[in-house]
Amino acid sequence: MSIKTISFALMALLPFLANPVASQGQNPINQDGCVTNYDPNFDYFTNKITVDNATLFSVHYERNYKVVVNNALKKEYVLTQCGTPVPPASQFGNETVFVNIPVKNAASTATTAVAFIEMLGMRSALKAVDTEGLISSPCLQYDLERGSILGIEDKDLAKRADQFKSVDVVFSTFGSEPGMENKTVITSEVSDPGPLHVAAP
């Protein structure tokens, strides 16, 4: 996997998982990452991601929310700072997914997302993973063994659906689980034209 692909995936997932940095005086953020005294004139995202080289995603900031766009799929995600109002859905497309951040409970149906979530130091946010036998992280395998992270059910579809209900976000690389369209974030790191893709005939 290329450095460009790693950078793309890390930057694409960071807006969902990172805690904002706000003034400790005027607008404190509690231990859950939620604003306790909302001010509509305050910028809750003092540290902003600048996307210079990636073309598969973009990030746009407002004071209390940010919009991440998966340009490869034309999918839009509105990430609202916990404890602040969600912007009106009428400002966005019909298939826009709204997510409160920082995300505390996530599932991943993509092994690629799992690795990047770990690189961000946010493994504790993962509650369930699919194709767990393909995950090479010893720390995550340990969490699976002790039950702090669950393997997503493959055969019992009702149980599988229940596992997704308990999370805020499902990270995927290809599509949504039935009924989970409003919580699925599709990342496209596997579409990144890294050196191997570019070199292929």
Six token digits for residue 139: 């720390």
Choose between 67 and 24: higher pLDDT: 67
Choose from 75-84, 143-152, 163-172, 185-194 the range with maximum mean pLDDT: 75-84
- pLDDT for residue 162 is more than 50: yes
Q: Which pLDDT score is estimated for 127?
A: 92
Q: Which pLDDT score is estimated for 179?
A: 78
Tell me whether residue 198 is in a domain. no
Last residue of a domain, one of 67, 101, 135: 101
Per the CB < 8 A criterion, the answer to whether 54 and 9 are in contact is no
Q: Confidence class of residue 152 from pLDDT cuts 50, 70 and 90?
A: confident
Q: What is the pLDDT of residues 94-141, one digit of tens each?
A: 999 999 998 889 998 888 888 888 888 888 899 988 888 888 888 889
Q: What is the pLDDT of residues 6-60, one digit of tens each?
A: 444 444 555 555 555 554 455 677 777 899 999 999 999 888 888 877 788 889 9
- pLDDT for residue 158 is more than 90: no
Cis bond before residue 102 (omega within 30° of 0): yes
| Residue 128: CB atoms within 10 Å | 22
The CA-based angle 111-112-113, given to 5 degrees, is 90
Question: What's CA 176's distance to the chain center, in Å?
Answer: 14
Q: Which pLDDT score is estimated for 23?
A: 47
Tell me the residue type at 186.
Answer: I
CATH at 139: 3.40.50
Last residue of a domain, one of 79, 101, 123: 101
Asked whether residue 80 falls in the same domain as residue 22, the answer is: yes
Asked whether residue 184 falls in the same domain as residue 113, the answer is: yes
The neighbouring-strand residues paired with 184 are 170
Tell me whether residue 56 is in a domain. yes
Q: How many independent structural domains does the chain possess?
A: 2
Q: What is the pTM of this model?
A: 0.79
Within 70-148, residue ranges assigned H as helices are 111-119, 138-146
Q: Confidence class of residue 4 from pLDDT cuts 50, 70 and 90?
A: very low
Q: Which pLDDT score is estimated for 182?
A: 87
Question: What's CA 85's distance to the chain center, in Å?
Answer: 20
Asked whether residue 144 falls in the same domain as residue 184, the answer is: yes
Last residue of a domain, one of 101, 121, 136: 101
Compute the Cα dihedral for 38, 39, 40, 42 and give only its sign.
negative
The neighbouring-strand residues paired with 70 are 57, 75
Tell me whether residue 199 is in a domain. no
* CA separation for the pair 49, 179 (Å, rounded): 31
Domain with 155, as residue range(s), is 106-191
Residue 9: its H or E element: helix 3-17
Q: CA-CA distances (angstroms) from residue 197 to 1, 133, 190?
A: 10, 26, 10
Asked whether residue 88 falls in the same domain as residue 116, the answer is: no
Q: Which pLDDT score is estimated for 28?
A: 74
